[in-house]
């Protein structure tokens, strides 16, 4: 009997047959929908409070700075501490942030957002703390998922389901957040956010912990671990160029933070329209993932990456020529998250074989 025939037919649900992996996916869906709801509601609330585009930009800055600062240390911690412990601690902090945002909309906390010199500081403080938690959560979560898969045969299937469910949650989250805000009010939106985050915490807590994987030789300390990663990036020109290109594309080509302005003053669609606009990139990402499943990047990945970055960079300027909701949604949807997808494939092409991209 041949090896192919003995392997049996492909099982597209192989990873889903693992109970703990199902709980991990369910937890990630709850957490992703919760964070997307929170992102829509916070941005709309901030714009309604300040009517200032700079305040919207500072939301992203308040979250990005702590996340970037702790990212290198967080990767080292994920290699030194049990991943489940990090995940539970980080999600607990995120739950605390969600509850705090909910309390700020109640009479007991609304006085903190009264009009004075620092009335937006509580919102920025909550976002800053959540940025720290997400900085630690990312490396631990991505390292923990493979530990739940007992064999390599099911790992690729698990990665596919993990990516698919995340993108689906990223589509649903903003739309749900906008609808909740528009139809039920800010209290209900933040309440649903907190409930979903609590469900995610319970699901993560129900998964058995795993010991750290064995490594060859001694574990590197913090300084050596960071330096080895930096040296690898700067020693590989292909990786450095791709990362730099994606960095500047995201930094200068994204206009997601300004979507509340479009939804309110230009399109006049309210928070419901903002939710749909925020969901559009994820819809494009899902379609791109399906497309790349049937047409994977095999040749000239670098050239396609440049085209994807060009499309992402042209989105803000293209959207200003026609002030209709459909045109704006299409401009958000068109590049989707195709640039990170292209980047990931380009990196996978160049790291093992150093072949030309």
More confident residue, 230 or 38: 38
Instruction: Write down the pLDDT at residue 338.
Output: 46
Q: Residues of the chain with pLDDT > 70: what percent?
A: 68
pLDDT tens profile 56-78: 888 888 888 888 888 778 887 88
On the question of pLDDT at 98 being above 80, the answer is: yes
Lowest mean pLDDT among 62-76, 110-124, 236-250, 292-306: 292-306
In degrees and rounded to multiples of 5, residue 312 shows phi and psi of -65, -40
| Average of per-residue pLDDT across 165-190 | 87
On the question of pLDDT at 333 being above 60, the answer is: no
3-state secondary structure of 26: helix
Q: Please, what are the domains in the chain?
A: 14-210 (1.20.1250.20), 221-357 (no CATH)
Lowest mean pLDDT among 104-113, 224-233, 246-255: 246-255
Specify the residue for token string 């109640």.
Answer: 106
**Closest by CA position to 28, among listed 101, 136, 137, 129:** 137
User: At 93, is the pLDDT very low, low, confident or very high (cuts 50, 70, 90)?
Assistant: very high
Which range has highest mean pLDDT (109-123, 151-165, 274-288)?
151-165
Q: Residues of the chain with pLDDT > 90: what percent?
A: 21
In angstroms, the CA 271 to CA 175 distance is: 9
51: its two tokens: 């009517």
301 burial (CB, 10 Å; 0-12 / 13-18 / 19+) is buried
Specify the residue for token string 């995610």.
Answer: 200
Average pLDDT in the chain:
76
In angstroms, the CA 94 to CA 82 distance is: 19
More confident residue, 221 or 171: 171
On the question of pLDDT at 342 being above 60, the answer is: no
Lowest mean pLDDT among 65-74, 179-188, 268-277: 268-277
Rounded (5°) CA angle 69-73-217: 155
pTM of this prediction?
0.77
On the question of pLDDT at 324 being above 80, the answer is: no
3-state secondary structure of 53: helix
Which range has highest mean pLDDT (63-72, 220-229, 251-260, 284-293)?
63-72
210: its two tokens: 């795993």
On the question of pLDDT at 299 being above 50, the answer is: yes
| Average of per-residue pLDDT across 7-25 | 81
DSSP assignment of 58-90:
HHHHHHHHHHHHHHHHHHHHHTTS-HHHHHHHH
Sign of CA dihedral 131, 133, 135, 138: negative
Q: Count of alpha carbons within 13 Å of 156, Cβ hemisphere only?
A: 6
In angstroms, the CA 281 to CA 331 distance is: 9
On the question of pLDDT at 89 being above 90, the answer is: yes
In angstroms, the CA 84 to CA 89 distance is: 8
In angstroms, the CA 251 to CA 249 distance is: 6
In angstroms, the CA 303 to CA 308 distance is: 9
- Could you tell me how many residues make up the chain? 357
| Average of per-residue pLDDT across 288-313 | 65
Instruction: Write down the pLDDT at residue 168.
Output: 83
On the question of pLDDT at 215 being above 70, the answer is: no
- Determine if residue 354 is left, alpha or beta; phi over 0 gives left, psi from -120 to 50 gives alpha, anything else beta: left
User: At 133, is the pLDDT very low, low, confident or very high (cuts 50, 70, 90)?
Assistant: very high
Lowest mean pLDDT among 130-139, 271-280, 323-332: 323-332
With b for 16 or more beta-carbon neighbours within 10 A and e for fewer, the 266-284 pattern comes to: ebebebbbbbbbbbbbbbb
On the question of pLDDT at 332 being above 60, the answer is: no
Instruction: Write down the pLDDT at residue 71.
Output: 79
């Amino acid at each position: 009997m041949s090896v192919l025939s003995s392997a049996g037919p492909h099982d597209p649900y192989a990873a889903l047959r693992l109970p703990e992996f199902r709980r991990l996916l369910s937890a990630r869906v709850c957490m992703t929908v919760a964070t997307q709801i929170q992102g829509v509601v916070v941005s709309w609330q901030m714009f309604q409070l300040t009517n200032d585009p700079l305040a919207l930009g500072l939301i992203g800055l308040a979250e990005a700075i702590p996340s970037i600062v702790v990212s290198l240390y967080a990767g080292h911690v994920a290699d030194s501490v049990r991943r489940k412990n990090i995940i539970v601690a980080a999600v607990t902090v995120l739950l605390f942030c969600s509850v705090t945002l909910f309390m700020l909309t109640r009479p007991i906390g609304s006085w903190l957002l009264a009009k004075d010199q620092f009335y937006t500081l509580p919102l920025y403080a909550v976002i800053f703390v959540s940025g720290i938690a997400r900085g630690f959560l990312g490396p631990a979560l991505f390292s923990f998922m493979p530990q739940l898969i007992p064999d390599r045969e099911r790992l690729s299937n698990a990665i596919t389901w993990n990516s698919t469910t995340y993108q689906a949650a990223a589509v649903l989250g903003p739309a749900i957040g906008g609808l909740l805000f528009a139809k039920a009010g800010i209290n209900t939106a933040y309440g649903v956010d907190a409930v979903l985050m609590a469900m995610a915490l319970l699901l993560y807590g129900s998964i058995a912990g795993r010991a750290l994987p064995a490594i060859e030789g001694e574990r590197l300390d913090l300084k050596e671990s960071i330096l080895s990663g930096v040296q690898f990036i700067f020693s590989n020109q292909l990786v450095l160029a791709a990362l730099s290109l994606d960095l500047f594309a995201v930094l200068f080509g994204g206009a997601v933070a300004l979507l509340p302005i479009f939804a309110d003053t230009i399109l006049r669609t309210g928070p419901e329209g903002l939710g749909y606009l925020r969901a559009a990139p994820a819809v494009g990402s899902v379609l791109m993932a399906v497309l790349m499943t049937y047409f994977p990047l095999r040749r000239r990945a670098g050239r396609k990456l440049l085209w994807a970055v060009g499309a992402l960079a042209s989105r803000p300027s293209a959207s200003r020529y026609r002030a209709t909701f459909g045109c704006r949604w299409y401009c958000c949807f068109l590049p989707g998250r195709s640039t990170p997808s292209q980047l990931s494939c380009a990196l996978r092409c160049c790291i093992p074989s150093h072949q030309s991209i």
